[in-house]
Structure 1
Amino acid sequence: MIKFVKNNIAFILIVLSIISVNAQEKTEPIFKDGEAQIVEAFNTPEKWIRHDLFVETTFDTDGDGKLDRMHVDVTRPYQTDTEGLKLPVIYESSPYYAGVAPDVDGVFWNVKHELGKMAEERVHPEVTRLGKRPIISNSQIKTWVPRGYIVVHSCSPGTGLSQGSPTVGGQNESLAPKAVIDWLNGRAKGYTEPYGNEEVKAFWTTGKVGMTGTSYNGTIPLAAATTGVDGLKVIIPVAPNTSYYHYYRSNGLVRSPGGYLGEDIDVLYDYIHSGDESKRAHNNAKIRDTEMKNGMDRITGDYNDFWAGRDYLNQMKPMKAALLMSHGFNDWNVMPEHSYRIYKKASEMGLHTGIYYHQFGHGGPPPIGMMNKWFTHYLHVIDNGVENETNKAWIVREGDKMSEPTPYKDYPNPDAKDVTLYLAGGAPNAGVLAPTKSPNEGKETLVDNYSFSGEALARAEITNHRLLFVTPKLSKDLHISGIPKITVKLASNKPAVNLSVWLVSLPWNEGRRVKTTDNIITRGWADPQNHKSLTKSEPLKPGKFYEISFELMPDDQIIKAGQQIGLMIFSSDKDYTLHPKPGTELTIDLDGTSLTLPVVGGMNGF
């Protein structure tokens, strides 16, 4: 009896030993300091499993009577097959993966015409699709697969092998990534072929999804999140376009994104439309030549239902994913207001939010360690404290590395207080910008001339094409954090006029690189015809004064002692606005015009 028991115990110990060895051999993600680490067994590109498929959506935008399917690729560690390992997903979607339209003459709208007029029709280039199955993109893969994630890409509707039509912010561009996330969670169907019936199951994932991407690729995570789709746990949009109105218009003014003078939403549609050639005529007729043509309104620039439907701020109620925003304060393409407006709303909704700002231009993701912690917490469910951090904002200070942001409690800086500055005349030289108001400063007039760039006008000692008002030299560093606001009382000698405002740091540093924007603190544009309403403009009565108030772009900048802050008011902005014939006169009532700056420390800081 004793011998029998001993034999059984020995057998059990052997079995337990075998189980223990197998458990040790099974590959699992590894975490250190709250971050997923590179695991050598996952860092084997030659063994990664890579395949593509087509996920069925809930819409038909190409009019063929069949639900559109999105082209999707998957890259995953081989252990998801050999060891039954289930991992979370990092997902990026884009309209750019399959190629874009060529840059040809006439593709952009001609901006040289009078305000309130329509330019002649532009050129519509065709896109030649690039790329072959099965791999759509290699972005994100080298970073995240070795750290224990599956990486998924998809082409957005009407691009690449994805069916349907681009809508540039329409509902289908939100429902497409939702369908992919639904498929990852077993709620939608995936197929091996675009029109076949052989299904593909996502048996290898936990269903937890994080999304990221830059520019349009950063817009799509927000679009997906606004659907409230289950499984999407966290998004990290980088320089996302969160409202196509704010991208192509500014306070009622037709205004181009920086670097793309004459671009509008229909230009972007043509630029990305790389899908099935046989469906393009239908898509063009329905989307570009009807919906966009009737809704975009390049004549008045008013906000309408077309633009409201492409403003993700209006669609955020269902959103439940955590949000880490990233943007550059000197991004004059997708301007920094795009991220701030969504961050602010998400914070008000009680979502876990964070924002990373830097001092450079378009793009620039948060440091990899920061992204890693957010993904690790929400996708691997590791308690690393990221949701309990007391600081919600990280800002790369002037001259610092992108990887070394300074943490702050929030953005704008909670210690920032509004300081109102008033104008004293001096045209055609510079006038004065000061926190004390002098009565009866009168009026000054500038003459519109688009042929002078904003930089040239800011540097000019004497010119009648702008009004410039500068502070005395700063006796100490001045920290601006938040959204400057301006109120302008003006009159024009014509029924329509461009209004442009720049806030600059002077003197202009000639030692910096050519075409620098380092001296530009922030900017703003507006249509005085929209002084009462953003949705309904009215022609100006020549000579009559109107008051218009609007916000400049968000900023967080430390302006060094010895510099002066300059407020420049002018009309047509060469690189951004329409170019009416020079000569329109814009008169500013100095007593009715003021600038409000968010200054850390308030008046004491100033």
Structure 2
Amino acid sequence: MRVLQIGCAALAWSVAATTSLFAAEPAVPVFADGEAQVVKAFEDPDYWIRHDLWVETEFDSDGDDKLDRVHVAVTRPRQTDTEGLKLPVVYVTSPYFAGVGSNDKAYFWDPKHELGETPDKHKVGPDIKLKGSRPIISKGHTKDWVPRGYVVVHSSSPGTGLSQGCPTVGGDNESLAPKAVIDWLNGRAKGFTSPDGDETVTAYWSTGKVGMTGTSYNGTLPLAAATTGVEGLEAIIPIAPNTSYYHYYRSNGLVRHPGGYLGEDIDVLYDFIHSGNPTRREYCDCNVRDKEMAENMDRVTGDYNEFWAGRDYLNDLEPLTAAVLMAHGFNDWNVVPEHSNRISQALKAKGVPVQIYYHQGGHGGPPPMKMMNRWFTRYLHGVENDVEKDARAWIVREGDDAKKPTAYDDYPNPKAADVELHLTGNAPERGTLSLEAVPSQGLETLVDNVSFDGAALAKAEWTEHRLMFVTPTLNEPVHLSGTPKITVRMASSKPAANLSVWLVSLPWNDSKDAKITENIITRGWADPQNQKSISESEPLEPGRLYDVTFDLQPDDQVIPKGQQIGLMIFSSDRDFTLWPKPGTELTVDLDATKLTLPVVGGVEALKKSL
């Protein structure tokens, strides 16, 4: 076996040209105001070295009795060869780089079926056609980080692209694959020039300091890698990460689809990313999708179980030591904002360096470059820029530039306090939402009808398909910061029912330029059958009242003067839940139903606004 140091022999012709172009002084990273600066000698892509390799992992997920190898691509300044320069690494891994499957809803689960019934199996989409060509897996992030004195590394997740193994959508191999790459960058794992050969490659140009980033699935994988506690992973910047596949595809015992992907479930996502080696496809499909997923994902009860617990990174945080800069949008209804909040709160309690950047938009949206630069400069280059002393929370206020967030001591806002609101009935019109409880409000009933979407129900002045309760018109803005909670005492006319809650800002803005997110403060969903535990459901006794308590999605929003805060309780949410036939009746005990809002300034601030 011989070791190949890619670049040296192949680049001998260019050394003289490079030396004359970039003068006698060695090119090194430059820092100012706590940030890595663009270095002229690193800036020209024509003078970058690009090569690929396969890193050997510690697992065999595709059943061929050989350790899986993952495909890795490297982009680095030429000076890492010509001047022996060693640099830290910004690393991005993904299941998407080689292409993805069809988003045709024909290959999704059909949401139209009765609750508690076993649904018909969905069709499997066509095989994915691989895209891209070696040695480049992706060019993402290279223009940002290579000129600032970093090597950028990309890899394809197991079972995708030219990586061996099976996709598992949150299984252990998705954590161990990037761990192996980081081990290789630190000289602890083997890299090879081919997927099956024995010619090795070393990362002689790496300092061993690694930071990871990415958005959505690509933002999940940095967290996955960090939960292994791998040495050398110093910092991560997950953007809109999915931190629990249960919380992505279920909600408080309820089968709930991510926004925009009605009918998607974990096996659909498996098919969407499975672009890997066709010779092992049958094994992967049989053992992962058709066995493990099919037997455990449970679209009948929606209960939390060991399968979902194994894909919940909150359960795996003990080994994590990497500094975490998290980013999320409060109006992300694909990967809802609880994903980042639940992890950042746990990491704060654990004592790991953590900051959070929230904006008012939807899915995706990285922190400003200045924030990311300071983060990686501190933890990868070791420059003492005091970033760890910065504000813990950065929130883009309504209407502000995303690059100019407002600093807060923490999230939720430390000045926020829970305020309890009570209901006064007026169904099928709008009742009231107030600080004072008015006794003997009794029961009100709504009739489920998924034909009407949530926006139509919220705008309706009169309808039997939802219950609506509104505050008086605000005479001062109200700042909410944190996680609203609700307890609904309810009865169902059937043994199973959806329960959906929206918190809205009224009057509804219906202008052509308005976004629905301007009207929706937050949302939440629950299965009343799981009122005791998300792990165990039991059929509802028709007509019996149950207390169903659950969190809505976390938020930080200023509701402007002149608006009303509205609480809408309904059953099936056309954009998120299953679609049972209309007619299920939910009866709500108004006296025992309570909404808790996290209000900055507490009850006195809300009193002033009302």
Which TM-score band applies after superposition, normalised by the shorter structure?
over 0.9
Q: CA deviation at 1:133?
A: 1.1
2:78 matched to 1:82?
no
Cα distance in 2 for residues equivalent to 1:304 and 1:24:
62
2:416 matched to 1:411?
no
Q: CA deviation at 1:582?
A: 0.2
Amino acid at match of 1:242: T
Partner residue, 2:545? 545
Query: Taking structure 1 as reference, are residues 105 and 571 closer, same or farther at Cα in structure 2, changes over 3 Å only?
Result: closer
Q: CA deviation at 1:527?
A: 0.1
Q: CA deviation at 1:132?
A: 1.4
Cα distance in 2 for residues equivalent to 1:562 and 1:468:
18
Identity of aligned residues (%): 67
Amino acid at match of 1:277: P
Cα distance in 2 for residues equivalent to 1:343 and 1:479:
21
Amino acid at match of 2:471: T
Which stretch has the larger CA shift, 122-131 or 281-290? 122-131
Q: CA deviation at 1:605?
A: 1.4
Amino acid at match of 2:122: R
Cα distance in 2 for residues equivalent to 1:386 and 1:580:
51
Q: How does 1:138-537 map to 2 (within 5 A)?
A: 138-389=139-390, 391-511=391-511, 513=513, 516-537=516-537
Cα distance in 2 for residues equivalent to 1:230 and 1:411:
29
Cα distance in 1 for residues equivalent to 2:81 and 2:562:
64
Partner residue, 2:584? 584
Partner residue, 1:60? 60
Q: Deviations over 1:343-371 (max 9, x none)?
A: 00111000000000000000000000000
Amino acid at match of 1:400: D
Cα distance in 2 for residues equivalent to 1:431 and 1:252:
29
What secondary structure sits across from 1:371 in the alignment?
Answer: helix
Which stretch has the larger CA shift, 118-127 or 355-364? 118-127
What secondary structure sits across from 1:401 in the alignment?
Answer: coil
Q: Deviations over 1:533-588 (max 9, x none)?
A: 11110000000000010000000000001100000000000000000000000000
Partner residue, 2:11? none
Q: CA RMSD in A?
A: 1.0
Cα distance in 2 for residues equivalent to 1:534 and 1:510:
37
Q: CA deviation at 1:118?
A: 1.8
Amino acid at match of 2:546: Y
What secondary structure sits across from 1:441 in the alignment?
Answer: coil
Cα distance in 1 for residues equivalent to 2:427 and 2:265:
35
What secondary structure sits across from 1:283 in the alignment?
Answer: helix
Q: CA deviation at 1:218?
A: 0.1
Amino acid at match of 2:439: P
> TM-score scaled by structure 1?
0.96
Q: CA deviation at 1:475?
A: 1.2
Partner residue, 2:17? none
Which stretch has the larger CA shift, 476-485 or 116-125? 116-125
Asked if the contact 2:501–2:568 (Cα under 8 Å) also holds between the matched residues in 1, the reply is yes
Q: CA deviation at 1:512?
A: 5.0
Q: CA deviation at 1:388?
A: 1.8
Q: How does 1:43-122 map to 2 (within 5 A)?
A: 43-122=43-122
Amino acid at match of 1:262: G
What secondary structure sits across from 1:469 in the alignment?
Answer: strand
Q: Deviations over 1:226-249 (max 9, x none)?
A: 000000000000000000000000
Aligned length: 584
> TM-score scaled by structure 2?
0.95
Partner residue, 2:600? 600
Q: Deviations over 1:420-466 (max 9, x none)?
A: 00000010100000010011000000000001000000000100000
Q: Deviations over 1:444-499 (max 9, x none)?
A: 00000001000000000100000000000111000000000000000001000000
Q: Deviations over 1:57-110 (max 9, x none)?
A: 000011111100000000000000010000000000000000011233521100
What secondary structure sits across from 2:247 in the alignment?
Answer: helix
Amino acid at match of 1:154: S
Asked if the contact 2:212–2:236 (Cα under 8 Å) also holds between the matched residues in 1, the reply is yes
Q: Deviations over 1:119-155 (max 9, x none)?
A: 2111111212211111000000000000000000000
Asked if the contact 2:105–2:263 (Cα under 8 Å) also holds between the matched residues in 1, the reply is no
Cα distance in 1 for residues equivalent to 2:385 and 2:454:
47
Q: Deviations over 1:203-231 (max 9, x none)?
A: 00100000000000000000000000000
Q: CA deviation at 1:526?
A: 0.0
Partner residue, 2:14? none
Q: CA deviation at 1:515?
A: 5.6
Name which one, 1 or 2, has greater alpha-carbon Rg.
1
Cα distance in 1 for residues equivalent to 2:496 and 2:515:
30
What secondary structure sits across from 2:324 in the alignment?
Answer: strand
Cα distance in 2 for residues equivalent to 1:329 and 1:398:
11
Amino acid at match of 2:280: K
Q: CA deviation at 1:516?
A: 2.1
Amino acid at match of 2:310: G
Cα distance in 2 for residues equivalent to 1:538 and 1:564:
37
Q: Where in structure 1 are there 5+ consecutive unaligned residues?
A: 1-21
Partner residue, 1:25? 25
Cα distance in 1 for residues equivalent to 2:512 and 2:164:
47
